[in-house]
Amino acid sequence: MRPTFVEVDLGRISANLAAIRSHVSPSTKVMAIVKANAYGHGIVEVARLMEKQRADMLGVAFLEEAVLLREHGITAPILVFGGIAQKQIPLILKLGLSATAPSVDKLRLIDEAAGALGIRARVHLKIDTGMERIGVHYYSADKLLEASLSCRHCDVEGIYSHFANADAADLTHARLQQQRFMEVLEFYTKRSLPPPCRHLANSAGVLALPESHLDMVRPGIMLYGVYPSPETPKTVPVHPALSWRSHVAYFKVVQAGSPVSYGSTWAPEQQTRVVTVPLGYGDGYFRALSGKAQMLIRGHRYPIVGRVCMDQTMLDLGTGTAYNGDPVTIIGSDEKEAISADEIASWAGTIPYEVLTNINTRVPRVYLGA
């Protein structure tokens, strides 16, 4: 196995799920979001864990992710969030997946395909309350809801929307989105009909807006122990499940004035010790971290010097000590020091979501606490 790898603590993911369940109402279901390779943690292993822990549903972005889970024996209910092409509908139905219906036209296509196959389709209606991504606008949602009542081959098991700003300090827009969603749901009250499963809360909604929990919540990044933003209240105690490790591949002494890496952007002012770590932007470690980030060796922080390469990155030890084969921590703890996905995100000028999902499949995953 490569000396660069990711450790995923499945026990921590289980504990995070338990903490989320304790925070919401006992009657509120939990959809575990495993899209984007389970936020870098490994979609198959995490989905298996969530199935074992009896998560009520799994959420994926694309049909391909759901197909992968079914191919690996995952039988749990799965909702495909993204917009689907017409040609994908028959496969969604044959695999017993729940499809998002973001428009009247797409709902009719699903209903027709289900009728042709002699299958009952499972559908969640998508309402756009202020994200402007996919979904019927809240102010014209009645047309979609009316159409759903006349479907002959669809079981409308859910209706949902998505927050755009629930991770912000100012929750005005998030509350406006919830108000719009609740107004859409009055369609059922006026007709004395029970609504399908209502879901709105993502991780930030779970943490900051208890009134948005409704019938089901959709924790994503918090399931993996990372909070959505610094502004989000930490009302649920969750802990990171992912550590990114490597090992020193090479040690050298670099003379004063001798530049390091591509572009010769950095050279030491005096003789120093430099080690090479076998990972780079080819693994998903941002080139933007060049000259900004740090890694841990023997409980000490050492800065990246020169540009991050595709497969290798250099650290300046100064007068510090390290040997070939010494462990290196990119994300995680080493003795009393720790580097988080949030810290890497701040160095790179991005968000922890991108840091985690950017770790690509060239990096092996090792699972603990299975």
Buried b (16+ CB within 10 A) or exposed e, 333-354: ebeeeebbbbebbbbbeebbbb
Average pLDDT over residues 302-327: 97
The span from the CA of 95 to the CA of 75, in Å, is: 9
- Pick the catalytic residue from 139, 250, 262, 323: 262
Amino acid at 47: A
Bridge partners, residue 80, by sequence: 60, 99
**Secondary structure (3-state) at 195:** coil
Residues 6+ apart with CB under 8 A from 303: 291, 293, 294, 315, 316
Q: What is the pLDDT of residue 370?
A: 67
With CA atoms as reference, report the closest residue to 260 among 211, 322, 304.
304
Chain segment 330-343, per-residue pLDDT in tens: 999 999 999 999 99
Local confidence band at 83 (pLDDT 50, 70, 90 cut-offs): confident
pLDDT of residue 285: 98
Interatomic CA distance for residues 336 and 345, integer angstroms: 21
What is the spatial distance between Cα 14 and Cα 156, in angstroms, rounded to a whole number? 30
pLDDT recorded at residue 306 = 98
Per-residue model confidence as pLDDT tens digits over 266-286: 999 999 999 999 999 999 999
Taking residues 151-167, report their average pLDDT. 98
Q: What angle do CA 295, 298, 299 make, to 5 degrees?
A: 70
Averaged pLDDT, 238-250: 98
The pTM (predicted TM-score) of the whole model is 0.96
Handedness of CA 316, 321, 326, 332 (dihedral sign): negative
> In this structure, are strands 313-318 and 272-277 parallel, antiparallel, or unpaired?
antiparallel
Confidence band, pLDDT 50/70/90 cuts, at residue 103: very high
Q: Which residues are registered as beta bridge partners of 300?
A: 297
| Per-residue pLDDT at 231 exceeds 70 | yes
Average pLDDT over residues 152-160: 98
The predicted structure's pLDDT at residue 45: 98
Residues 78/117, Cβ–Cβ less than 8 Å: no
Catalytic-labelled residue, pool 29, 35, 106, 126: 35
Helices (H), 122-279: 141-149, 172-190, 203-208
Indicate the CATH number of 10-224 among 3.40.640.10, 1.10.645.10, 3.40.50.720, 3.20.20.10.
Answer: 3.20.20.10
Domains in the chain: boundaries: 10-224, 242-368
Q: How confident is the model at residue 351 (pLDDT cuts 50, 70, 90)?
A: very high
Q: Which phi and psi (to 5°) does residue 301 adopt? A: -85, 135
141-151 pLDDT tens trace: 999 999 999 99
Per the annotation, the verdict on 35 as an active-site residue is yes
Could you tell me the fold of the domain covering 242-368? Answer: Lyase, Ornithine Decarboxylase; Chain A, domain 1 (2.40.37)
Q: Tell me the per-residue pLDDT of 44-69, one tens digit each, with 9 for 90 and over.
A: 999 999 999 999 999 999 999 999 99
What is the rounded average pLDDT for all residues in the chain? 97
Active site residue 262: yes
pLDDT, mean of residues 77-101: 96
Residues 98 and 86 sit within 8 Å (Cβ to Cβ) = no
DSSP state of 206: H
